[in-house]
Structure 1
Amino acid sequence: MADHSPPEQLRSAASKANGTTQPPEGWRRPPHNHYRQAYAAIDLGTNNCRLLIARPTSENFIVIDAFSRVVRLGEGLAQSGRLSDAAMDRAVGALKICAEKLRRRNVHLARSVATEACRRASNGASFIERVQRETGILLDVISAQEEARLAVLGCHILLEDGIGPAMIFDIGGGSTELVLIEPGGPVPRIIDWQSVPWGVVSLTETVGPEKEDADDEERAARYAEMRRIVSESFAAFAARIEGHRAPDLRLLGTSGTVTTLASVHLELPQYDRNAIDGLVVPSDSMRDIATRLSSMAPPQRRGLPCIGNERADLVVAGCAILETILDIWPAPRLGVADRGIREGILRSLMAADAEGSQARAELKRARQGEA
């Protein structure tokens, strides 16, 4: 079981950040003791469907069940503007497994979110209806701003100590979020942020599939085009935050791209979350790995542990996005987080429920006093 430990008093502050003291409509409240209940978070992204089920323990929470599956919901979206039938079938199949886990674990409070693919797709709303009809799960299509906030809430405790603003980023399947924060207190203050519609799936499909027999020059040109697209999209944000750079630059990334490259850095034979989550890697090492992966032929990448067939065609786009981020915020070290939106959901959810329970207890005491 994984232990995800927030800083002291995070739950109360997270509730304030969520703007509510009561769980949002659609969340079910546990009927028994708060600390005995299971809470769940589902994140349906452009590439992956992920689930975490956890129980709070004092100021921490313990993950009691998890699920992750590559569903490629956004496959073909860049060309058609729609979610394909095959992609929706894959996503619904994964969500049915999530729904069964929710029932089996007796989850009483849950939040399920969908991100860029459902935001962009012309048939996103009908897909949400199908998911609810076939699985019972009500997906909340969140904004890019909410996506960024949840990612920060879920992983900021892994930031290195230092002075001045820090950058947190999330490279997804359909979008990338960059968030400049002022650390301090249980929840950092967001100074500025930007989301662009380029993730590992959307950028790969926009530039076009990689040729198996491409030569070095063709691969270099394709990678340069990816870098150009992302750099232009982040240009205005990069200009805005130029004045916030300080000598003590800190950078933290949460995504399959950074965890994969960190695994390559450690030369792991297979992925190991305990070795990756919280790791700090020299940025130059990550750049070197990105350059090496982008210049490899597809069969070479497939042969690398922790990449394989599943990530070989998408990791190049992730490398291009990561290098652009390192250009914008040239921190000497890169923190790696294998946590993000789901953990942010859980912290917000537990905080809201705990604060609501406290409010109800105070109201009950007040009524008893009046009697």
Structure 2
Amino acid sequence: MTLFKDASDDDYLDLVAAVDLGSNSFRMLVAQVVQTPSGTQLRPIDTLRESVRLAAGLTDNKLLGSEAYLRGLTAIRRFGERIRGFDPARVRAVATNTLRVAKNAPQFIRDAEAALGFPIEVIAGVEEARLIYIGAAHEVPSVQGNRLVVDIGGGSTELIIGKGYEPKLMESLYMGCVSHSLQFFPKGNIDPHAFREAELAARREIQVISSAYLKSGWKQVIGSSGTARALADLISENHFNSQADDGLSMGRVNGSSGLITREGLRAMKKHLLKYDHVNKVELQGLKDDRRMVWPGGLAIMIAIFDELGIDSMEVTDAALRIGVLYDLLGRSQHDDMRYVTVEQFMQRYAVDREQAKRVSELAAEFLGQLPKPNSESRDDNIALLQWAANLHEIGLSISHNGYHKHSAYIAGNADMPGFSKNDQARLAALLIGHAGKLGKLAHNASFQDWRMLFCLRLAQVLCRGRSDANLPKVKLSEHEGVYAVSLSKEWTSKHPLTEFSLLKEAAEWERVGRPYRITLK
């Protein structure tokens, strides 16, 4: 039996499931395997998360205490109900650090397998690191060169350097948000000396690997999974980092900027040390199941930033369970997951592919005629512009009236594997601006993609007839902020609607203070 079928087969959903038995939380992801022309993608269908605090239940002699044991089995039974009837070839369950070290782990695994109904693998730290990297690499934007992925779990911390989808350096350090909090902040007590000791202990662990990692280098830093996400959310919701509040507002999902910076971590530490117990700490967005463990996670993250010289880190929810599923599929992926995502969105929203291609190619041709940016990659901008062109009509699946608003909403708020929050913000801005009034973007100081928008709007006007026939030859230029469009007078005389639309377009750009000249020859 084939593991997956085309997404167009409405009568069959190819579902796979990953179960991650972590040291702090147990998680399960059920996903649909979708085939697109650019490759294979996982579409999340259902997620479950239970805070079991397994690491906190370890006794001094490394045995799982009865309460933690019971919490774990109770959660696993619920997971088992959700995936009952799945083919075993489509389920993979893995257990991490706490079940690597607990002396009674073999008995727990036997009981857990009976409750889940599927085998459970206790994976080594390096294997955990490999799967974490695979998961993160499939969900974040591609980068030319190496990327560093950091995952602070409950009982261990994984640091991986890789390129593309291939991990190169992998380490699993024996420290996590739960174990570190138990060691340095027993019973939730906080003081500056204890926090300093927690930082120094974490730095000593990282120093063992820092030389090799710094020598390898990286172009991108990604924080994956729960601790990184929790820290990013706290930084954003409590305004600990002005960068997270100013430049990325359009890319937020549920109030989160998805960015951790050195500045934000230091501000959070300063706030924490105002209190003598975690239960007294007042912070927007601090969840009860994170309250006792986030001081340890914060100390470890600060140590990683300091020891490896990191200034900022993007955050993704993708982690071990995503990597487990891609590893389960065992299939090669496109070099850039964003192409796969765009293909899948075009398929999902029944995009007119011929029109999308028409607008995409014309917009890219126009951008190629304009001056190259000083601080951005022309290739990256053409890619973003073409993604916007390919997706500009996805809102038609909701309503023709104001469809560009629907398109922008989908792009800004949907799960788009491979796209960063900033990518999605730029994409959504192009989609909201490709039709209608420009005033909605004129007062947005963070919007800088005017050239791309100019090209997209011009291509959309010229392709209104949805045909390749009789498209004119157009020459573009830009000088000191003035856009100039030159095309045949003979052609426009035969296409009065397009001529009228171009004049309206020029007037719209003039209204927002961006001169637009049309020359007919």
Please confirm whether the aligned pair reaches a TM-score higher than 0.5, indicating the same fold: yes
CA contact (8 A) 1:49 1:68 kept: yes
Q: Distance in 1 between matches of 2:255 and 2:318?
A: 10
CA gap 1:162/1:138 in 2 versus in 1, 3 angstroms: closer
> What secondary structure, in the 3-state scheme, does the structure 2 residue paired with 1:198 have?
coil
CA gap 1:251/1:123 in 2 versus in 1, 3 angstroms: same
Aligned to 1:305: 284
Report Cα offsets for 1:112-170 as digits up to 9, x if no partner: 00000010011111110111233323210001111001111111245566554321111
Aligned to 2:310: 331
Aligned to 1:61: 42
The share of aligned pairs that are identical, in percent, is: 26
Aligned to 2:61: 80
Q: Distance in 1 between matches of 2:269 and 2:29?
A: 30
Report Cα offsets for 1:155-214 as digits up to 9, x if no partner: 124556655432111100010011122x23xx1341x222111101111222351455x6
Aligned to 1:151: 132
Asked if 1:188 is matched to 2:166, the reply is yes
> What secondary structure, in the 3-state scheme, does the structure 2 residue paired with 1:169 have?
strand
CA gap 1:274/1:39 in 2 versus in 1, 3 angstroms: farther
CA contact (8 A) 2:21 2:95 kept: yes
How far apart are 1:243 and its partner, in Å? 2.1
Larger deviation: 144-153 or 284-293?
284-293
Asked if 1:261 is matched to 2:231, the reply is yes
Amino acid at match of 1:99: G
Amino acid at match of 1:255: S
Q: Distance in 2 between matches of 1:240 and 1:129?
A: 39
Report Cα offsets for 1:309-347 as digits up to 9, x if no partner: 211111000001101110132233211011100111111
Scaled by the length of structure 1, what TM-score is found?
A: 0.75
> What secondary structure, in the 3-state scheme, does the structure 2 residue paired with 1:72 have?
coil
Amino acid at match of 1:229: A
Aligned to 1:232: 204
The two structures, once aligned, show a CA RMSD in angstroms of 3.0
Q: 2:216 aligns with which of 244, 247, 255?
A: 244
Q: Distance in 2 between matches of 1:264 and 1:154?
A: 24
Asked if 1:43 is matched to 2:17, the reply is no
Larger deviation: 92-101 or 308-317?
308-317
How far apart are 1:238 and its partner, in Å? 0.9
How far apart are 1:235 and its partner, in Å? 1.3
Report Cα offsets for 1:262-282 as digits up to 9, x if no partner: 11222189xx99458883344
Q: Distance in 1 between matches of 2:292 and 2:91?
A: 33
CA gap 1:220/1:31 in 2 versus in 1, 3 angstroms: closer
5 Å-filtered alignment, 1:273-352, equals 274-275=253-254, 279-296=258-275, 297-301=277-281, 303-351=282-330
How far apart are 1:229 and its partner, in Å? 1.3
CA contact (8 A) 2:54 2:72 kept: yes
Aligned to 2:174: 197
CA gap 1:234/1:96 in 2 versus in 1, 3 angstroms: same
Scaled by the length of structure 2, what TM-score is found?
A: 0.55
Aligned to 1:23: none
CA gap 1:332/1:37 in 2 versus in 1, 3 angstroms: same
CA contact (8 A) 2:236 2:256 kept: no
Q: 1:178 aligns with which of 159, 166, 176?
A: 159
Gaps of 5+ in 2: 8-12, 240-250, 334-521
Amino acid at match of 1:120: V
> What secondary structure, in the 3-state scheme, does the structure 1 residue paired with 2:60 have?
helix
Amino acid at match of 1:81: K
> What secondary structure, in the 3-state scheme, does the structure 2 residue paired with 1:140 have?
strand
Aligned to 1:99: 80
Gaps of 5+ in 1: 1-28, 355-371
5 Å-filtered alignment, 1:204-223, equals 204-210=181-187, 212=189, 219-223=191-195
CA gap 1:221/1:133 in 2 versus in 1, 3 angstroms: same
> What secondary structure, in the 3-state scheme, does the structure 1 residue paired with 2:30 have?
strand
